[in-house]
């Protein structure tokens, strides 16, 4: 089975990823964590992670989906041209892309939000200034799916994970978090 590539960068949000990762695991979907380089990466809440591979080394043919966490300060990534190139390279119509919180900025920079409905965890008033978002396609919904692209605000992290699991047609218990 092809893998879901999980992007990791400094100050990534652990909780925004966590339920999506759980659902991928429940659905027996293999993952590969992908860093900007091979160095340890500290998340916003203090977990230090090691990526399995890097954006330079991951094999595109092994992956069919991309999971992108938010970043406490997405501004730290604005010069990472190799990251935008990677997202553009893997972000074909055949790839399921799930991007939460501030990270749809990365999709916009990679040109993947053109003509797509999306949401993002950034203030709407700022989107025009930032210059890469089509403001007319912005949605206030917490989770938005337009074709192969899922976007969500951070607070929607549970439904975001559920939406990714369904888009990948995984077999998982959608209501696990409601159980005792």
Site map for its own copies, 40-79, x if CB under 8 A? x---xxxxxxxxx---------------------------
Residue 168, interface with its own copies (CB under 8 A)?
no
Cα 155 to Cα 92: distance, rounded to the nearest angstrom: 27
Q: Measured from the CB atom, is 17 or 74 closer to its own copies?
A: 17
Q: Per rule CB under 8 A, is residue 170 in the interface with its own copies?
A: no
β-strand pairing of 149-152 with 96-100: parallel
Q: How far is the CB of 68 from its own copies (least distance, A)?
A: 15
Could you give the 3-state DSSP secondary structure of residue 6? Answer: strand
**C-beta of residue 118 within 8 angstroms of C-beta of residue 68:** no
**How far, in Å, CA of 168 to CA of 29, rounded?**
9
11 binds its own copies (CB under 8 A): no
- Widest CA span in the chain: 46
The pair of structure tokens assigned to 150 is 């899922």
For residue 158, CA distances in Å to 32, 75, 103, 113 come to: 21, 25, 16, 22
34 binds its own copies (CB under 8 A): no
State which residue, 15 or 132, has the beta carbon closest to its own copies: 15
Q: Does 89 bind its own copies (CB under 8 A)?
A: no
Among 7, 91, 106, 153, binds its own copies (CB under 8 A): 153
Q: Which is nearer to its own copies, 25 or 59 (CB)?
A: 25
Residue 1 lies near its own copies (rule: CB under 8 A): no
Token pair belonging to 40: 């340890």
Q: 3-state DSSP call for residue 77?
A: helix
Distance CA 151, CA 30 (A): 21
Binding flag, residue 15, its own copies (CB under 8 A) = yes
Q: Name which of 31 and 132 has its Cβ closer to its own copies.
A: 31
Which chain residues interact with its own copies by CB under 8 A? 6, 13-15, 17-19, 21-22, 24-25, 31, 33, 40, 44-52, 140, 142, 153, 155, 157, 176-180
């Amino acid at each position: 089975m092809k893998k879901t590539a999980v992007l990791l960068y400094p100050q990534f949000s652990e909780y925004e990823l966590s339920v999506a990762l759980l659902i991928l695991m429940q659905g027996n979907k293999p993952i590969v964590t992908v860093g900007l380089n091979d160095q340890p990466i500290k998340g916003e809440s203090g977990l230090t992670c090691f990526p399995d591979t890097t954006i330079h080394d991951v094999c595109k043919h092994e992956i069919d989906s991309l999971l992108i966490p938010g970043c406490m300060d997405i501004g730290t990534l604005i010069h990472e041209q190799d990251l935008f190139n990677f997202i553009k390279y893997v972000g074909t119509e055949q790839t399921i892309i799930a991007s939460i919180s501030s990270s749809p900025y990365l999709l916009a920079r990679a040109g993947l939000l053109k003509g797509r409905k999306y949401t993002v965890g950034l203030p709407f008033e700022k989107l025009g200034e930032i210059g890469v978002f089509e403001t007319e396609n912005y949605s206030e919904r917490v989770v938005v799916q337009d074709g192969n692209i899922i976007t969500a605000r951070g607070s929607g992290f549970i439904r975001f994970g559920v939406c990714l699991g369904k888009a990948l047609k995984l077999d998982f218990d959608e209501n696990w978090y409601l159980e005792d």
